[in-house]
Chains A and B, each alone.
Chain A
Amino acid sequence: MKKSHLKKMTVIAVICTWITLGISGAGVAADTIKLGVAGALSGDLASYGLPILKAAKLVVNDVNAKGGILGKKVEIISEDDMCKPEIATNTATKLVSEGVTVVLGHVCSGATKPALDIYKDAHIIAMSASATSPDLTQSGKYPNFFRTIASDDAQAKLEVNFALDTLKLKKIAVLHDKGDYGKGLAEYAKGFIEKSGKGEVVFFEGVTPGAVDYSAVVNKIKRSGAQAIIFGGYHPEASKIVTQMRKDGMKTVFISDDGVKDDTFIKVAGKYAEGVYATGPKDTSSNPMDKAVREEYKKVYGEDVGVFSINGYAAAQALLNAIQKAGSTNYDAIIKALRTDYVETPLGKIKFDDRGDAVGVGFSMYEVKNGKYVELK
């Protein structure tokens, strides 16, 4: 009896020690400005999240080397949400409790939405480098949200105009992956096609991501007589569908989004990727700052920048610049700075409109030629 009592006491003592350690740890770190970075850092979409985190680290190192902002060093606190909405709420809560001033993230639109409610309540600004769901800015529900990437309806519009006007096709199949991002984009595309009156949607369905085989849906598209497919989704499904189509001898034009404009798509689909169209952020490589960032990234990490690295870099710059301009970590002051002050980024000079979209950031159409995405002018 006495022995177990002693055991309990020991446990309590250990817990108390931990708690004290935790408190003092947080106390020491209080004189830094905390930049939260949230997104898929593991899981099958980590190839979107990690390059953003790496880019943010470059910016922070740069800023700290110059003495930090407001006389304080900037510290990155990264949290993984695996692009899953149910995990993103935990991620957001964790970042809030760690006392971040601003958050760079999240990566996927589906995960960003639930996280934003938590940030809004905690008066924390979030800026995404990759979440393109139009709703995030257009709904007006999230005054604390900004992004350095254009929204999906801009992409869908570009895809539809390209199919109907540039390629002069009439019968379009619209396919998506049932996700927030893919389905949203597909619905915009469908709407734009119907409104234009220049073409018709002969097929509109979603596929299950991760399925072992897409032959049934490919056969169905073939039967629908579509001249082009507009696909809303990510590259793993796109490469499976394109490979299946080309192996079946289908030459249907394949047009997709920036979830597919990823070099992994070309690597995986190989020769079948040739001739695939995908929209992606405007090529900014003529901008000297962009070039410098790409080189630095390669030097530090030994690999080329990921698809959203440049947007991530710009977002980190915009956030830190706004804090500097605001002169404090006050929520309203930072928002005002983001909306009024231009900041020089690899994407060009940007600031944000009232809804949180970056002014001067847009999309271009790319085509796979000889194993590379080439921008079409």
Chain B
Amino acid sequence: MEYFLELFMGGLIRGSIYALIALGYTMVYGIIELINFAHGEIYMIGAFTALIVASVLAVMGVHQLAILAIAMLAAIVYSSAYGFTVEKIAYKPLRHAPRLSPLISAIGMSIFLQNYVLLAQTSDFLPFPSLIPDFKFLEPYSSILRPTELVILLTTGVVMLLLTLLIKFTKIGKAMRATAQDRTMALLVGVNVNQVISITFVIGSALAAIGGVLIASHIGQINFFIGFIAGIKAFTAAVLGGIGSVPGAVLGSFVLGLTESFATGYVSSDYEDVFAFALLVLILIFRPGGLLGKSSTQKV
């Protein structure tokens, strides 16, 4: 039973790690139907920013919680700026181009950002400090749930809730939904579509930055390539849950995380990916739109 619980928690944590990244994918897709492959790189840039800021602050002897807050803030600001710029440079000029063009542009951006960080920083793995303090009350359960894991779980929940509220109940949320439904029509009734898309990218990038900081302090190491691998899994999770749907991304991530964890625990870690992707295929056969996605009928 304890073994089951360990695997279950491990799966949940894996799932919430994927979810933090998947939320950004799904938001952007929901609004402009673009798979933003550069999202994983924004996540990586967030982690690098936090590492640089945290190292400087640690030398200055700032309190640990203050380091976490400032590093997180810096990462959010920096990543958002990157997300905003990437959209303006790589996607906006292609808004009326065939759908394949922005996709290729996104892949190009992803490769560019990876190599930019490789050249500007290093190709080596760098140690990432554990920014999250140790909570005393968790010590007896350390084999099941550690502080960073608790923080990641909670953050995922809170972020998902806030995003849902934002999209459902605020003015910008309404504008987002309008843009998602029909861009031309939204433009005609006075929605500033360009601004809405920019805001979507900024929010998505901010989420990626939060994910980057938390996940990096969980794993304890970063390099320029982390965004790519994590991004692919998060993308899978977003598709599994129904790309474009916010709760779907979280559900998909949990399903993927738990599948991988149980597959490793009860079968073999050799087949971890086999089970994960077999599940994806199965779900897409029976629900082509993903778990919570709407399978869109073609408009004639």
A212 contacts the other chain (Cβ, under 8 Å)?
A: yes
A268 touches B225 (CB 8 A): no
Highest count of chain B CB atoms <10 Å: which of A50, A212, A219, A270: A212
A219 touches B10 (CB 8 A): yes
A121 contacts the other chain (Cβ, under 8 Å)?
A: no
Interface digits, A156-171 against B, CB 8 Å rule (1 contact, 0 not)? 0000000000000000
Find chain B residues with CB under 8 A from A47 CB.
123-124
Interface of A is mostly: helix
A44 touches B14 (CB 8 A): no
Given the known inter-chain contacts A44-B123, A46-B123, A247-B142, please indicate yes or no for A268 contacting B10, CB distance below 8 A.
Answer: no
Interface of B is mostly: helix
B184 contacts the other chain (Cβ, under 8 Å)?
A: no
A216 contacts the other chain (Cβ, under 8 Å)?
A: yes
With CB as the reference atom, state the residue of chain A lying closest to B118: A42
B220 touches A220 (CB 8 A): no
B219 touches A213 (CB 8 A): yes
- Assembly CA distance A73 to B57 (angstroms): 51
- Size bracket, chain A contacts: 20 to 34
B125 contacts the other chain (Cβ, under 8 Å)?
A: yes
Highest count of chain A CB atoms <10 Å: which of B14, B143, B264: B264
B1-59 CB contacts (< 8 Å) to partner A: 3, 6-7, 9-11, 13-14, 17-18
B215-272 CB contacts (< 8 Å) to partner A: 215, 218-221, 223-226, 229-230, 233, 260-262, 264-265, 268-270, 272
With CB as the reference atom, state the residue of chain B lying closest to A206: B270
> Which residue of B218, B223, B233, B269 contacts A207 across the interface (Cβ within 8 Å)?
B269
A340 contacts the other chain (Cβ, under 8 Å)?
A: no
* B250 vs chain A, min Cβ distance (A): 16
B215 touches A212 (CB 8 A): yes
Find chain B residues with CB under 8 A from A208 CB.
269, 272-273
Q: Tell me the B residues contacting A by CB distance below 8 Å.
A: 3, 6-7, 9-11, 13-14, 17-18, 115, 118, 123-127, 142-143, 146, 215, 218-221, 223-226, 229-230, 233, 260-262, 264-265, 268-270, 272-273
13 contacts between A and B (CB under 8 A): A44-B223, A46-B118, A210-B230, A211-B229, A212-B18, A213-B13, A213-B17, A215-B13, A216-B11, A219-B6, A219-B265, A223-B3, A248-B142
Q: Beyond A212-B219, A216-B261, list 14 extra A-B contacts (CB 8 Å).
A: A42-B115, A42-B123, A44-B123, A213-B218, A216-B262, A217-B264, A219-B143, A223-B3, A236-B223, A247-B142, A248-B143, A267-B126, A268-B125, A268-B221
